Amino acid sequence: MAKSVEPLYERVAVEPLEQEEKTQGGIIIPDTVKDKPIRGTVVAVGCGYRSDDGKILPLMVKVGDLVTYAKWGGNEIELNGKKVVILKESDILAVMRD
Amino acid sequence: MAKSVEPLYERVAVEPLEQEEKTQGGIIIPDTVKDKPIRGTVVAVGCGYRSDDGKILPLMVKVGDLVTYAKWGGNEIELNGKKVVILKESDILAVMRD
Amino acid sequence: MAKSVEPLYERVAVEPLEQEEKTQGGIIIPDTVKDKPIRGTVVAVGCGYRSDDGKILPLMVKVGDLVTYAKWGGNEIELNGKKVVILKESDILAVMRD
Amino acid sequence: MAKSVEPLYERVAVEPLEQEEKTQGGIIIPDTVKDKPIRGTVVAVGCGYRSDDGKILPLMVKVGDLVTYAKWGGNEIELNGKKVVILKESDILAVMRD
Amino acid sequence: MAKSVEPLYERVAVEPLEQEEKTQGGIIIPDTVKDKPIRGTVVAVGCGYRSDDGKILPLMVKVGDLVTYAKWGGNEIELNGKKVVILKESDILAVMRD
Amino acid sequence: MAKSVEPLYERVAVEPLEQEEKTQGGIIIPDTVKDKPIRGTVVAVGCGYRSDDGKILPLMVKVGDLVTYAKWGGNEIELNGKKVVILKESDILAVMRD
Amino acid sequence: MAKSVEPLYERVAVEPLEQEEKTQGGIIIPDTVKDKPIRGTVVAVGCGYRSDDGKILPLMVKVGDLVTYAKWGGNEIELNGKKVVILKESDILAVMRD
């Protein structure tokens, strides 16, 4: 059984965080709101974009970054018993910083 | 909990203004009109457009600009208890100037 | 409250003329015909098209030009109590000359 | 009231001919056939195509050419009491020669 | 009344052959089969493809070639009492050779 | 009546093999499975891809190759009493080798 | 009957693994989950991407790689009595590593 994943080209692998049930202000988040972007930690990154003439252009996000991405982008796989989502870097909206 | 947001590439983060209920002339704005473009303040900008050969081309809008953008562009996240919309610079129609 | 608007890149701001109710020959214009292109005066222009390698290529239309554009192109905002439409230069069909 | 029209970039202005009711052989043209391409005379041409790096590449059709174009391409405006259609040169199928 | 046609750029004018009612083997061709590609003779060719930087790249098919093309590509006009179809060279599948 | 076919540019002509009714293991192939890719022999190839600046780039498949292609790609014509399919090289999935 | 397959250009041939009925944790996988990405072993790779000017740019995945790909990408053929899927490298999400 595979132990690690190597996303191809401009794809990255993200371990999604459990979606918070309440906002910081304590308000319960209704289901409809759960369509909102999802947060997760980058666990693997592809080698980069393949340019038209074959050069490989490195990605911006790094392993360990906390990112937020649109809910419907990406494919979910199972790795070491955990849910991991493979998505394109272009599906990532932003890196969340402390 | 993340304190700040770093939009990726050509994306920007905007804090939307509360939509005015009345026009300058005092007329109550019906719901249908509320589909109109939204105004908000830029709170963070991405590094820029990634060109085909990997160069990064800086954006035009700056942090602090008051901008107007099409209502349905962008994804809404919560940051420090506030609503923030992550959208592409190309979704921004114009910068509003005093 | 913003006093002026700076359209982004290849966008322009146009103040639409009131749609004539009758043709030059005095014939009343039925509603269906009102889908026809709209005329308006350019009140602000963006800096220009952003080329793939980041150069800015100036627009053709100028402030003060009377232009005609397809009815459904553009987003309508309110500026100084007046209706202004933000649209892309490519939505403009022609400049009307005296 | 505008007297002349300056189509933008690769657009041209065409004065459509009245659609013939009969073929050369005298057969009455049914409505369905009237979806066929339309003929008209070029009355104004834009400056040309804008290339990716901003060069302007002149058009092929000239003012005075009799052209045939697909019925649904273009926008109809009124100029000096006459119907004029603004369309892209790429909507023009051919120039008709004597 | 126009006597000849000059297709624009990469377009060509083709005089379609009457669709055979039977196959070579004598079998009657049902209507559904008549959706099959159509054969016709090239009667005029455009100057060529317009490249992004404005060069004109000549076409491959010549006047007099017998070609086969997808049924739904192209626009039909009348020229000197005959049916002529204006289509893009890219709609042509092949040249038929003796 | 045309004896041979010269596909245009990146098109190829393929004589489809009769679709096997049974798998190698002797199982009867149901109709639904017949949507599977089809095999056939290449009988003619076009000159090649036309690049943006007009160069012709030769194709990879050769006359005589046994290829497999997606069922719905291509147009069927009749040549010398046989069924021939004209399709683009990009519709071909693979060359089958002994 | 063909013994081996040579995918064209950027295509690869993959022998899909039987889809696990249970997760590592022993939970039975419901049908809906079976839409998840599929794993399989690469058995043949095409020569590479064809660039706009005709250069061939080699692929990243190698024969023998265990890969995961979106369920609906690719075409299924039969080779030597086994199921083989031909898909584009861009349909592959990641290479799974031990």
DSSP string, C62-98: -TT-EEEE-TTSSEEEEETTEEEEEEEGGGEEEEEE-
Q: Which residue of A has its CA nearest to B53?
A: A51
> Once rounded to an integer, what is the mean pLDDT over residues F64-85?
92
Domain with A49 in it: 11-96
CB F86 within 8 A of CB F5: yes
Q: From CA F43, how far away is CA B9, in angstroms rounded? A: 49
CB D40 within 8 A of CB D19: no
Residues of B with Cβ-Cβ distance to C8 under 8 angstroms: 60-61, 89, 92-95
CB C23 within 8 A of CB C42: no
**Does residue E3 fall inside a structural domain?**
no
> Once rounded to an integer, what is the mean pLDDT over residues E55-67?
96
Q: CATH code at B21?
A: 2.30.33.40
Q: From CA F42, how far away is CA A65, in angstroms rounded? A: 51
Radius of gyration of chain F (CA): 15
E51: pLDDT strictly greater than 80: yes
- Counting every residue written for chain G, the total comes to 98
**Does residue G6 fall inside a structural domain?**
no
- For residue C14, the distance in angstroms to the closest alpha carbon of chain B comes to 12
Contact E93 F81 (CB under 8 A): no
Question: pLDDT category, F53, cuts 50, 70, 90?
Answer: confident
How big is the B-C interface in CB pairs under 8 Å?
Answer: 71
Instruction: Quote the pLDDT of residue G82.
Output: 92
Number of domains comprising chain B: 1
- For residue E11, the distance in angstroms to the closest alpha carbon of chain F comes to 14
> Which residues make Cβ contacts (< 8 Å) with residue G84, sequence separation at least 6?
G5, G13, G14, G15, G43, G76, G77, G78
> Once rounded to an integer, what is the mean pLDDT over residues G44-53?
94
Instruction: Quote the pLDDT of residue D9.
Output: 97
> Within chain D, what is the greatest distance between any pair of CA atoms?
52
The CA angle C81-C84-C89, to the nearest 5 degrees, is 165
**Does residue F81 fall inside a structural domain?**
yes
Q: Which residues pair with F77 in a beta bridge?
A: F84
Q: Which of A29-43, D44-58, E14-28 shows the highest mean pLDDT?
A: D44-58
Per residue in A11-20, pLDDT (tens digit) is 999 999 986 6
**Does residue B56 fall inside a structural domain?**
yes
**Does residue D2 fall inside a structural domain?**
no
CB B71 within 8 A of CB B36: yes
DSSP annotation of G21 reads: S
Instruction: Quote the pLDDT of residue A76.
Output: 93
- Tokens at B19, concatenated: 């939509």
E27: pLDDT strictly greater than 80: no
Q: From CA E1, how far away is CA A65, in angstroms rounded? A: 71
Q: From CA G98, how far away is CA G95, in angstroms rounded? A: 10
ipTM over 0.90: no
**Does residue A2 fall inside a structural domain?**
no
**Does residue F45 fall inside a structural domain?**
yes
Give the number of other CB atoms < 10 A from CB of residue B33.
13
Q: Which residue of D has its CA nearest to C96?
A: D5
Give yes or no for D2 touching C (CB within 8 A).
yes
Q: From CA D20, how far away is CA D34, in angstroms rounded? A: 9
Instruction: Quote the pLDDT of residue D32.
Output: 53
CB C63 within 8 A of CB C33: no
Question: pLDDT category, G29, cuts 50, 70, 90?
Answer: low
Q: Is the dihedral of CA D28, D30, D33, D34 positive or negative?
A: positive
**Does residue D71 fall inside a structural domain?**
yes
- For residue C6, the distance in angstroms to the closest alpha carbon of chain B comes to 5
Contact B94 C9 (CB under 8 A): no
